Amino acid sequence: MGERIEAEVVIVGTGFSGLGMAIQLLKQGRRDFVILEKAAEVGGTWRDNTYPGCACDIQSHMYSFSYEQNSGWTRAFSPQGEIWDYLRGVAKKYDLYPHIRFGQEMTGARWDPDEYRWHVATRGGDEVTGRYLVNGVGALHLPQIPDLRGLENFRGETFHSATWNHDYDLRGKRVAVVGTGASAIQFIPRIAPEAAKLTVFQRTPPWVLPKPDHAMPEWARTVFRKAPALQRAYRDLLYWSLESRAVGYNNGGLKLMKLTQRLGKWNIERGVEDPALRERLVPDYVLGCKRVLLSNDYYPALARDNVDVCTDGVAEVREHSVVDSAGVEHEVDAIIFGTGFHVTDAFEHLEIVGEGGRNLGKEWADEGMRTHLGITVAGFPNLFFLLGPNTGLGHNSVVFMIESQARYVAGAIALVDQAGSAGLATRPEVQDRFNTEMQRKLEKGVWTQGGCRSWYLDAQGVNRTLWPGFTWRYWLATRKVRPADFELIGTAGGK
């Protein structure tokens, strides 16, 4: 028999979401919580993604907790290792390690209406129970590997960017990269000089803007360390400059985005001389419809003599080669997938069972992901999501969203306590109203109007990923928990 762990709050994941939630509970004086982590260390996506060139595409001074500023970032956009160090440092400072159960991967959860508790199952066979369940697993953790014909017959090396094989030496090898998303544009410039031949299979070209990255000068780090108020002012400046970008993404911003495309075209022109290659790299959709990427070295890497960009798509994989849809066979020693993650279907593998046996994964697969504020779900009392549906961002730092959500969840738990209840259930009409409003706004945005198909959209073509509009509006919406949005259920300590 596995171990039985009991706590008032069960948090899943130790990325920014899980750690941020735990810290928020501590700030409220709550210590009765447990954090489940599938790996052996904290860090989430910043622990897992160790591919060459992995870095943040939001400035680090903004991509960090507002209450836990780091004066020591070495660059404006920090590399993966520094962000991971930061998260471990935060976990240590707030003494979160004693609360964490490592090697505990949640496989499902069941709501017990008699006990008013969640029973969480883990892969190791342990059972964890808690009055509240906070899911902080995020969407960028299940690698998406395309179903390519014949892939199982390939005799060479294959891996996804999120599970990089550092033991495999790419020097002198013929390498195929499938995909040109956010990860691929970071690792391609790093591996291109090493590989004998690099073939990049590009289905749809991304818009890649220049990255305003630079080393943080020593004097700036010293000033920030000695005068934290100046660092806060710098962060505020970053926040509002990033926030202004929301104008282009949302209602009526297409003209602005088309204007910004000129910067994207200039970035191609400065990195690539060959007119035929340039043509293959210019997207046919409006900037912002897919995730906007930042890089100064991606285009120069594609222009190298040993790099080939194939736009014909992969028809099949053979023992030692990849055949494109034009019938050309490319002999390769390794295939690296830069094909992103399961996002809109990230929760379908989890067995989360709520009131009356309702299965969340099945409901979301059939009807699309629906929540209230991206946090609570009707029919699933005391269940909370961090960075849930429609709270992702294309223009600013998701850590800002996570802080707003963690504060909101802590507020919801406090509301239950004050009322002497056992839990709270989201009113279905409140959830419906929120989703209708979301989709009404998203219909006018570049993600819907920009002429592309992106991972922001689910199987039905509905955007279940992004928050439409300014993040300060989300902050306002989540600043206080509205009792009227919920039904309080049970009584503390009993039925």
Q: Using one digit for the tens of pLDDT, what is the confidence trace for 399-449?
A: 999 999 999 999 999 999 999 999 999 999 999 999 999 999 998 888 888
- Which H or E run contains 279? helix 275-281
Q: pLDDT confidence of 352, banded at 50, 70, 90?
A: very high
Are the CB atoms for 127 and 120 separated by under 8 Å?
A: yes
Count Cβ atoms below 10 Å from residue 441 Cβ, excluding itself: 17
pLDDT of residue 99: 98
Query: For residue 365, which amino acid is it?
Result: A
pLDDT of residue 346: 63
Do β-strands 174-178 and 334-337 pair in parallel, antiparallel, or remain unpaired? Answer: parallel
Query: Among 396, 360, 362, 397, which Cα is nearest to 378's?
Result: 360
CA distance 233 to 237: 6
Q: Write down the pLDDT at residue 344.
A: 59
Average pLDDT of 453-465? 85
Q: How far apart are CA 32 and CA 9, in angstroms?
A: 7
| Residue 494 predicted with pLDDT over 60 | no
pLDDT at 14: 97
pLDDT tens readout for residues 222-274: 999 999 999 999 999 999 999 999 988 887 778 889 999 999 999 999 999 99
Residue 62 near residue 245, CB atoms below 8 Å: no
Percent of the chain with pLDDT over 90: 85
**17-71 residue pLDDT tens:** 999 999 999 999 999 999 999 999 999 999 999 999 999 999 999 999 999 999 9
Predicted pLDDT at 495: 47
- Angstrom CA distances, 134 to 35, 138, 221, 343, 384, stand at 9, 11, 35, 18, 5
Residue 465 gets which letter from DSSP? Answer: S
DSSP at 289: S
DSSP 420: T
**Which pLDDT belongs to residue 250?**
83
CB 124 within 8 A of CB 2: yes
Token code pair at residue 467: 């928050």
CA distance 295 to 299: 8
Question: pTM value?
Answer: 0.96
Contact 4, 126 (CB under 8 A): yes
CA distance 134 to 136: 6
Express each pLDDT in 122-134 by its tens digit: 998 889 999 999 9
User: Residue 485 above 60 pLDDT?
Assistant: yes
Lowest mean pLDDT among 170-174, 318-322, 367-371: 367-371
Mean pLDDT, the chain, rounded, equals: 94
How many Å separate Cα 271 from the centre of its chain? 29
Complete domains list, the chain, with CATH:
4-42+96-142+342-489 (3.50.50.60), 151-206+261-337 (3.50.50.60)
